[in-house]
Amino acid sequence: MKDPSRLYRWMLLLTSLVSLGFLLAAAVRENLLAEWQQRQRTYRKLLAEKATDARGRELLRNFRIELRQVSVPALGAVDRCVSCHVGIDDPRMTDVPQPYRLHPGEILEHHPVDRFGCTICHQGQGAATNFHDAKAEDAYWEYPLLPPELTQATCLSCHDVTRLPRQDVALVLEGMRLYEEKSCGSCHKLHGRGGALGPALDNEGMKTKHQLVLANLKPPYTTWRWHQAHFRDPAGLVPGSQMKNPTVTESEALALTAYMLSLRQRDIPESYLAPDKIAQKFRALSPQPQPAERLYRMYCFACHGEGTYGRWEKVFLRFIPAIRGPLAVTATRRYLETQIAQGRPGTQMPPWHSQAGGLLPEEIAALAEYLRSTAAASPARATAGGTAAVGRGDAARGQVLFLRSCAGCHGVSGTGGVAPELAHPVFLQAADDAFLASTIRNGRPQTAMPAFQRPGSAGLSDAEIVDLIAFLRSLATPPPGPTAPTEEPSRSGGNP
């Protein structure tokens, strides 16, 4: 009779052999062939080559192949990088290949490894014990190893960048300069100051790749590769993005990227902060007014440019006025200040008062004065309110005139078209009658707004202008209309 369990005994033999084989293989792979162990074996050979004196021989004798780590509870870091970078603090290891080489520069003198660890500056997955996972570009880890040229970005976590040696943080400083030059603050808020069209950037350096649109980026996916590509072509990376192309070179994009990576809101214990960083934080509590010219460059330039010509903005589908043109001359200071402080709700122009755009009242005043004092000389420079004897006009007659002469550009009910919206409450509140009259009368040179009462031309009479103004005023208290300035034009990332 056939043995009923013969099949099973063969199966047992086979599966036992397979199991034994794989158990052995796993034991060897996990316990003997780990990457860090192989690295340390190589390092021991290097130690032996360099053991020329008594000290060197002692180091070699005491060298154990073991997992090394720096545990920094205050920073929440357990960094095992030193398991492979064994020679990081051995001054003899200058002519050896990575990962055995001495840490470059004098940084470790001020930042002892056992107090700071590695990832506070370099990022990467400190817990990992092989290079692929430690670098973490292609691993499930939020903050991969920074490339060497961008590592300076993390210096700003603990230092006031202006107090660091310039050559060490040159890229970040260049990025900061470009941030001002390219007027990024017109749309982005940083440290509580800036526009509201784009997301706030205070924590941009801590963003992970999952918070970015990666669809049009080629791998490897890292935040810095995204930033670099994005600075070169914002809409190409994020379809539908309204961000203006900052027109930067490849190296400028890298500098801006370094600056973005340096923006980190990380809770680092005070004992780790440089005194100048604490002083910087303290200073930030009582901001000093900036010169108006700089403010204009930082917060106005992106949209208004030099401000001498108005233009049609294709992305916004809106007219952007020439704020350093004749407007600045005809308008009163109060008008300009109100416009800057309140913005134009419902348009892309955000409010800039201290609770919104973060500008101080004296800065806004200085900006208004700057616009007026530097306005381009205009042939039609007229004295404001020359015939300002504005009486009570007839709004009904004004409406007929408006439909005939103004509605083509300003919209039938003044809601704006190619020309700005006149029914806007902030505008009507800020603009006094003299300003309105003078603008209608003299037009706005260098824009499409014509003069309606040139000497010797058949234009509007003074009385008609008064009627027109009456009509405009009637728009300020409209029957329930769609112009209530409640809508927040912000698309920002919600920085409080």
Partner 1 sequence: MATTAPPSETISATQEFLSNLRQLPRNLKDAWFRLGRVPGSEREESQATFHNLFLHLHSVRVHRRTLSPSLTLGLGLIATFSFVVLVITGLLLMIYYKPSTALAYPSMKDIHYVVATGRFIRNLHRWAAHIMVIAVFAHMARVFFTASYKRPREFNWLVGLGLLVLTLALSFTGYLLPYDQLAYWATTIGANIANSPRELTDALGITPYFDPGGLQKRLLLGAQTVGEDSLIRFYVLHVFLLPLLLVILLSVHFWRIRKDGGLARPEDPAGGWAEWGGKMQRVFEPLATKTYGLMAVVRGRRPPVNRGPEGTVMSWPHLFWAELAVFMLTIAITLVLSFYIDAPLKELANPAVPENPAKAPWYFLGLQELVSYSAFMGGLVIPSIAVIGLALIPFLDRRPGGEGVWFGTPGERTVAWQSLLFGLASTVGMLAFTVNFGWLRNWFPEIHQLWIIAINPGSILVVLFAGWSLWVLRRRNSVRLAAVALFTCFLVGFVVLTYFATVHRGPNWQFYWWPSQWPVH
Nearest residue (CB) to partner 1, 2 versus 110? 2
442 binds partner 1 (CB under 8 A): no
312 binds partner 1 (CB under 8 A): no
Pick the binder of partner 1 from 38, 208, 245, 429 (CB under 8 A). Answer: 208
7 binds partner 1 (CB under 8 A): yes
Counted residue by residue, the chain has a size of 496
Quote the CA–CA distance of 234 and 261 in Å, as a whole number: 17
Closest-CA residue to 190 (of 289, 199, 241, 154): 199
Stretch of 179-187, 212-220, 247-255, 357-365 contacting partner 1, by CB under 8 A: 212-220
412 bridge partner residues: none
Q: Is 139 left (phi over 0), alpha (psi -120 to 50) or beta?
A: beta
Task: Provide long-range contacts, Cβ within 8 A and 24+ apart, for 140-149.
Answer: 142/208, 142/210, 143/119, 143/206, 143/208, 144/222, 146/122, 146/224, 146/261, 147/224, 149/254, 149/258
Shortest separation between residue 30's beta carbon and partner 1, angstroms = 4
Stretch of 40-48, 84-92, 213-221, 331-339 contacting partner 1, by CB under 8 A: 213-221
Pick the binder of partner 1 from 48, 213, 315, 484 (CB under 8 A). Answer: 213
Size of the site for partner 1 (CB under 8 A): 39
CB atoms under 10 Å from CB of 192, counted, come to 16
Token readout for 164 is 């660091």
211 binds partner 1 (CB under 8 A): yes
1 binds partner 1 (CB under 8 A): yes
Query: What proportions of the chain, in percent to the nearest 5, are helix, strand and coil?
Result: 50, 5, 50
Nearest residue (CB) to partner 1, 1 versus 317? 1
Contact set for partner 1, span 98-137 (CB under 8 A): 127-129, 133
16 binds partner 1 (CB under 8 A): yes
251 binds partner 1 (CB under 8 A): no
27 binds partner 1 (CB under 8 A): yes
Pick the binder of partner 1 from 141, 296, 299, 370 (CB under 8 A). Answer: 141
- For every residue of 152-200, DSSP letters joined together read GGGGGGTS-GGGS-GGGGHHHHHHHHHHHHTTGGGT-EETTEE-SSS--
Q: At what angle do helices 292-299 and 170-181 cross, to 10 degrees?
A: 90
CB atoms under 10 Å from CB of 379, counted, come to 8
Stretch of 190-198, 210-218, 300-308, 464-472 contacting partner 1, by CB under 8 A: 210-218
142 binds partner 1 (CB under 8 A): yes
Question: Where on the chain is the footprint of partner 1 (CB under 8 A)?
Answer: 1-2, 4-5, 7-9, 11-12, 15-16, 18-19, 22-23, 25-27, 30-31, 67, 78, 80, 127-129, 133, 140-142, 208, 210-215, 217, 221
